[in-house]
Chains A and B, each alone.
Chain A
Amino acid sequence: MTNTFYDLLRRQGITRRSFLKFCSLTATSLGLGAAAAPRIAHALESKPRTPVVWLHGLECTCCTESFIRSAHPLTKDVVLSMLSLDYDDTIMAAAGHQAEAVLEEVKAKYKGRYILAVEGNPPLNEDGMYCFQGGRPFVEKLKDMAADCQAIIAWGSCASWGCVQAAKPNPTRATPVHKVITDKPVIKVPGCPPIPEVMTAVVTYLLTFERLPTLDRMGRPAMFYGQRIHDKCYRRPHFDAGQFAESWDDEGARKGYCLYKMGCKGPTTYNACSTVRWNEGTSFPIQSGHGCIGCSEEGFWDKGSFYDRVTDIKQFGIESNADKVGATAAGVVGAAVAAHAAVTALARARNKTGIAVKQGE
């Protein structure tokens, strides 16, 4: 027999009042407003826990490590009460054929009703044998489990774009999930790794509303990937005022000035680091003094050194302006910022149109 999420909470001694409070907190944290709380409550009261199969291809497990850092909701509650994590080779008790048997069981029992979470990606060279599990190529396991799933979550930059093993010259032909599975919806949650609470929010959204979140043209949830880190960076006023760190540990660095000239990729990176922040809001890369390396962007490993200024990309053409901003002051600032805004808008447009993204259904 199966139980709904609400049944479980009740039987675990959680009161209806606490349950409703949880629902309204969830609604608020997802930015949905109080009106959505009853819908969340209804959804959780009437559904068995959705099975999740979490596969690992070529990866480093940073996505799993990030997932378990989630503070709201706690990973413990996600795994015990919100969904049913039936397969995840990083934490599951069973191994070998007892582990693989779980996959068959899920396919048979929950055909079309389980979520497939993919961390890492399949390599296609050497007949896929650069990553094999149970004696067969990972890409086969992926296709097999994708065939009967409801939707796919592509965790992290590996599953979304290819990430580090797909950096030039991509020796294994590591390939992102949406290029291998083309007949299922794929939600890309990029980042190396993605932010913990973004990961659990995407899962919670799926379970609660029983639909995919609104995705941008790249396949990412618009709610977390709709703005550049630069747009909401707390150091943005220093950019606008022409106050930059010019070298490591200089006066500007110690005053928390803008890291744009140190190579910060915040102006071209779509992610929620400057708003949600990391590790329960403790910090994010820019706050701790290192520029953003753009880890949620496609192909970020192959866009030059992390310490090259974004303006080094020729088409941007504002390098001299940005330098002047640093050297002089207010007079030039307005023009530089205007140029900067125009250029990032251009980059955004190019990103939107330059890459063909298969959207599945």
Chain B
Amino acid sequence: MGVYETQGFKLDNTGKRVVVDPVTRIEGHLRVEVNLDENNVIRNAVSTGTMWRGLEVILKGRDPRDAWAFTERICGVCTGTHALTSVRAVEDALGIAIPENANTIRNLMQLNLYVHDHLVHFYHLHALDWVDVVSALSADPKATSELAQSISAWPKSSPGYFRDLQNRLKKFVESGQLGPFMNGYWGNPAYRLPPEANLMAVAHYLEALDFQKEIVKVHAVFGGKNPHPNWLVGGMPCAINLDGPGAVGAINMERLNLVKSIIDQTRTFIEQVYIPDLLAVASFYKDWLYGGGLSSRALLSYGDIPQRANDYSAPNLLLPRGAIIDGDLTKIHAVDLKDPEQVQEFVSHSWYKYADETQGLHPWDGVTEPSFVLGPNTRGSKTRIESLDEEGKYSWIKAPRWRGHAMEVGCLSRMVLGYLQPQQYPFIKDTIDAVLAKLDVPVQALFSTLGRTAARGIETLYCAQLQVEQFDKLIANLKAGDLTTANIDKWEPSTWPKEAKGAGFTEAPRGALGHWIRIKDGRIDNYQAVVPTTWNGSPRDHTGQIGAFEASLMDTPLAKADEPLEILRTLHSFDPCLACSTHVMSPDGQEMAQVKVR
């Protein structure tokens, strides 16, 4: 399979091999290898998850009501989203309906995660792919101020402000201790921003670092802390008491005011800093439209943010659900997590083994057995890998497929699915149209690295707006006299059936997230999670289909073969989360060999 075609890409692994390991500015551990042709264009891409933790095995035999805490620790960056998925899976299995307030509070927590996570991603994980910090040293502070004031009403924009910041930066660089900026790709020709835009972006990198810690106070109010707030099967643990004695010990008016204040500040920051910066950066890169990968052919979203409690059908979801395959944007396919024909996982190129590796298995019926075997063309040794052999097994990530198709998940999938359904999602449609008009690019520009990055910003704006609406909904329900936050009818395991199974989903900030649970005699009999970066970071399958990361790198030219700036830029546009993707269970030795998830 050295040279072949798949999904519209022509793969050729005969050119010079370049290895990037570790891929930094992501969650977890990822390795990427590419082959370059004589013009330094990527002609083959190999994406490898290099960590595995085994949480699903650890969950076996535990109390299903505890599962949220374990699964929450799958990821501390998208903190809470696994917990929410988990309580939904348990509630689905046991038939537990949650109160309206609990649904709204969960929505507020999930939306809060979105705006925090996307903001931190843009500035602290992704910006240095577009912004040259060293170039900012030569900016004119006055011109920077004019630039900033021309695009936003954000008050921190005076010449003096940028001059002070630039001085601080200069002293930092002159100290000779560059810290996290050491060995960056400064001066690489793939950087295109003028010095003033770089200085403005660096200023906002630091401001966003200060501000992000405010956003998550909403999680602290309802969940007690962030990262890793607390959740509850059957509702939310935060009781509400508006005016009775002891209200100070519960969610009361002061707490609600704090939440409201943060929601308003957050929206302002998104509108006045994030979005103007995004548009400014994009305007200098709008003809760099590489990195589309699978996005124009295969997109998947489970949807999220149910407007009414306990209705998880597509029309009730404020983030869209659906699947696009074969590049046909005129047909949105219905998605059902419980249909054994839809979501399946394959392992022919993953470090696991099946009896028949040409078959995929639905998560309720998954089998996982480890097989850390390197392909015959691997260079190096087991513990000194120089380059991997993609014709063999080469990743700790399984290969999930939707009806047999490799899919891209995440913000771009959600925004495209919203764009295609303007009656249900007018905000998404209108905002995308406005951004395209502002940048003067056609709709096809969405299917690119830059499009993914823009989609994340548009989604942040949408979620900042939804936070306001969900808060108003909470207040309206409280005003109507409903203070309930938990349904305890089926709290006691004695009320549960002997056996039950369920599926829970969310849209994590990084994409479609599903948990599948089987409960037997009050304990977890089987737990499986298929997470966003399992989809996007998927290795090849038995038919040779490549995953979304791999596809996105194809045919991209590198300005400098030994500086992986464009590779990082495109991978980061997905916001990879490897602790999520590689936690799938795998047995170890005698004890674990018996643990087979069915």
Contacts and interface: CB of A to CB of B under 8 A. Distances in A.
Contacts of A130: 51-53, 396
A284 interface: yes
Given A164-B55, A171-B58, A192-B73, A248 B184 contact: no
A51 interface: yes
Q: Which of B69, B75, B184 has the most CB of A within 10 A?
A: B69
A129 B167 contact: no
A280 B213 contact: yes
Contacts of B75: 60-61
Interface residues of A, number: 106
A135 B76 contact: no
A301 to B, nearest CB: 7
B63 A255 contact: no
Given A65-B76, A172-B53, A192-B228, A279 B175 contact: no
Contacts of A248: 232, 234-235, 237, 239, 485-486, 488, 491
Given A8-B171, A96-B19, A278 B225 contact: yes
B300 to A, nearest CB: 24
A98 B54 contact: no
A2 B171 contact: no
A59 B52 CA distance: 10
A131 B29 CA distance: 8
Contacts of A196: 213
A30 B279 CA distance: 43
B226 A69 contact: yes
A121 to B, nearest CB: 10
A171 B583 CA distance: 11
Interface string B282-317: 000000000000000000000000000000000000
A3 B175 CA distance: 6
Interface in A172-221: 172-174, 192-193, 196
B24 interface: yes
A353 interface: no
A279 B226 contact: yes
Given A61-B75, A254-B244, A305 B65 contact: yes
Nearest to B128: A93
A228 interface: no
A58 interface: yes
Contacts of B441: none
A166 to B, nearest CB: 9
A249 B380 CA distance: 59
A163 B54 CA distance: 12
B183 interface: yes
Interface string B213-241: 10011011111111111111011111111
A96 B21 contact: yes
B76 A62 contact: yes
B163 to A, nearest CB: 10
Nearest to B184: A93
Nearest to A71: B213
B76 A86 contact: no
Given A135-B380, A284-B224, A2 B176 contact: yes
Interface in B367-388: 370, 372, 380, 382-386
Interface string A107-149: 0000000000000000101111111111111101000000000
A63 B76 contact: yes
A293 to B, nearest CB: 6
Contact of A290 (B125, B172, B237): B237
Contacts of B8: none
Interface in B572-598: 579, 585-589, 591-592, 595
A68 B21 contact: no
A13 B164 contact: yes
A96 B396 CA distance: 19
Nearest to A88: B180
A95 B182 CA distance: 10
Contact of B183 (A64, A99, A307): A99
B564 A280 contact: no
A94 B66 contact: no
B354 interface: no
Contact of B177 (A48, A127, A285): A48
Contacts of A355: none
B24 A95 contact: yes
A137 B250 contact: no
A105 to B, nearest CB: 8
A206 B120 CA distance: 28
B248 to A, nearest CB: 7
A279 B217 CA distance: 6
Contacts of B74: 60
A102 to B, nearest CB: 5
Interface in A281-314: 282-290, 293, 295, 301, 305-307
B27 interface: yes
A164 B70 CA distance: 7
A249 B486 contact: yes
Which of A89, A123, A170, A279 has the largest number of chain B CB atoms within 10 A? A279
B9 interface: no
A305 B59 CA distance: 12
B220 A278 contact: yes
A284 B226 CA distance: 9
A51 B175 CA distance: 13
B176 A93 contact: no
A165 B58 CA distance: 8
B305 to A, nearest CB: 22
A76 to B, nearest CB: 5
A257 B181 CA distance: 49
Contacts of A320: none
Interface string B5-28: 000000000000001111111111
Contact of A288 (B58, B224, B246, B588): B224
A129 B485 contact: no
Nearest to B172: A80
A31 interface: no
B179 interface: yes
B453 interface: no
Given A135-B386, A287-B224, A96 B22 contact: yes
Contacts of A126: 370, 372, 588
Contact of B216 (A84, A88, A101, A279): A279
Contacts of B178: 86
A193 B227 contact: yes
A280 B57 CA distance: 36
Given A88-B180, A135-B384, A76 B491 contact: no
A322 to B, nearest CB: 19
B564 A80 contact: no
A261 interface: no
A321 interface: no
B124 interface: yes
Interface in A51-83: 51, 56, 58-66, 68-71, 74-76, 79-80
Given A11-B171, A256-B246, A61 B69 contact: no
A315 interface: no
5 contacts: A90-B25, A93-B182, A134-B22, A288-B225, A301-B58
Interface of A: 1-3, 7-8, 11-13, 48-49, 51, 56, 58-66, 68-71, 74-76, 79-80, 84-86, 88-96, 98-102, 105, 123, 125-138, 140, 163-165, 167-174, 192-193, 196, 235, 247-249, 253-257, 273, 278-280, 282-290, 293, 295, 301, 305-307
Given A91-B180, A279-B213, 19 more contacts: A2-B176, A49-B175, A61-B75, A62-B76, A68-B124, A68-B209, A68-B212, A75-B213, A76-B210, A85-B179, A86-B179, A91-B24, A93-B133, A133-B50, A170-B58, A254-B247, A278-B225, A280-B213, A288-B225
Interface of B: 19-29, 31, 50-55, 57-58, 62-63, 65-66, 69-70, 73-77, 79, 120, 124-125, 128, 133, 164, 167-168, 171-172, 174-185, 206, 209-210, 212-213, 216-217, 219-232, 234-241, 244-250, 258, 370, 372, 380, 382-386, 396, 483-486, 488, 491, 563-564, 568, 579, 585-589, 591-592, 595
